[in-house]
Amino acid sequence: GFAGADQHGNITTFGRGGSDYTATIIASCINADEVWLMSDVDGLMTADPKLVKNAKLLKEVSYSEAIEMAQFGAKQIHPRTFEPLLSKKIPMRIRSTFDIKNTGTIVTATPSAGTKKTVKCVSAIRNIGLMDLSGGILFAAPGSAAKIFTILAEKNINVLMVSSNPSESSISIIVKKPDLERAVNALEMNLLGKLVKKIETTPNASIIAMIGSGMRGTVGIASKVFAAAQKRNVNVMMIAQGSSELNLAFVVKDSDCKSVVQSLHEEFQLDKIN
């Protein structure tokens, strides 16, 4: 299910999630009623059970929520798996091979009204590094960010998250921890003393994300999130939220990750979901 051909016709493998991707492509071609992905997990969860013992199975999520969960560390499925299903709105069910009585998680384009009102999941990406770049007034010039990202792209370094302050005098960038040293070296060689005045790093960090369509237009979500972090006496180092309001992501030290995830799970009562 994960073998294919590259642009030159050479037989190759699809990589992680290739079998699932094959299944959804075929489902789209035959206009299937539903796709079942069988694995060793019950479905999508409210949190990683390794971090939160009372994490619950999510019975229903939307495509957009599931894609966000896949992007933010849900290992059950690759984000591209959903692409063939989106235009035809074919539902997907994620189930366990070892527990056939469990119906798993249904992923659909039109979730029921009740599930739209809730924050669904607290997820985490660990083993990441944070770079804080500052550069004064030159940093605010047009094209400054482009130069930074071009240098990182040339070194094949993927940027996971970006945040900039309103004064445009500094920018924070998240990369995978194994890429952090290469990223800093590349930026120092090309920009330090010119565009960039100083680079500070935090090598052991984690991204924590609250995910759910229930956050859209809801007042007070951010205050609950940061109150949960404050209860565990944890400092938030960086914050980002897209205009879709499907997720609210922030960065903490990796040593604080488990504690904050547990606190958020309690704060939003995710153990009582469904």
Q: Which residues pair with 247 in a beta bridge?
A: 211
Q: Alpha carbon of 64 to those of 42, 74, 110, 155: distances in Å? A: 20, 14, 11, 31
Residue 76 has a pLDDT of 64
Domains of the chain are 17-117 (3.40.1160.10), 128-203 (3.30.2130.10), 206-268 (3.30.2130.10)
d(CA 239, CA 170): 14
The per-residue pLDDT for 138 is: 60
DSSP string over 13-40: E--TTHHHHHHHHHHHHTT-S-EEEEES
Q: In the chain, what is the straight-line distance between the N-terminal and C-terminal CA atoms, in Å? A: 33
Percent of the chain scored above 70 by pLDDT?
94
What are the backbone dihedrals phi and psi of residue 217, each rounded to the nearest 5 degrees, phi first? 75, 5
Average the pLDDT over 164-172 and give the result.
79
What is d(CA 225, CA 113) in angstroms, rounded to the nearest whole number? 24
Instruction: Give pLDDT, residue 53.
Output: 93
Of 155, 204, 150, the residue nearest 182 (C-alpha): 155
Of 197, 178, 183, 210, the residue nearest 139 (C-alpha): 197
By residue count, the chain amounts to: 274
Long-range contacts of 35-38 (CB under 8 A, 24+ apart): 35/85, 35/90, 35/91, 35/92, 35/93, 36/92, 36/93, 36/95, 37/77, 37/81, 37/92, 37/93, 37/94, 37/95, 38/95, 38/96, 38/97
Distance, CA of 223 to CA of 242 (rounded, Å): 17
Q: What are phi and psi of 42, to 5 degrees?
A: -75, -25
The mean per-residue pLDDT over the stretch 84-107 comes to 91
Residue 274 pLDDT greater than 80, yes or no: no
| The pLDDT of residue 1 | 62
pLDDT tens digit string along 185-205?
Answer: 999 999 988 888 899 999 999
Both tokens assigned to 59: 């019975």
Mean pLDDT on 223-231: 93
Residue 100: pLDDT band with limits 50, 70, 90: confident
Distance CA 159, CA 173 (A): 7
Query: Strand pairing partners for 61?
Result: 107
pTM, two decimal places: 0.86
Average pLDDT over all residues of the chain? 88
Q: Give every CB contact of residue 251 below 8 A, 6+ residues apart in sequence.
A: 128, 130, 161, 174, 205, 206, 207, 208, 236, 237, 238, 239
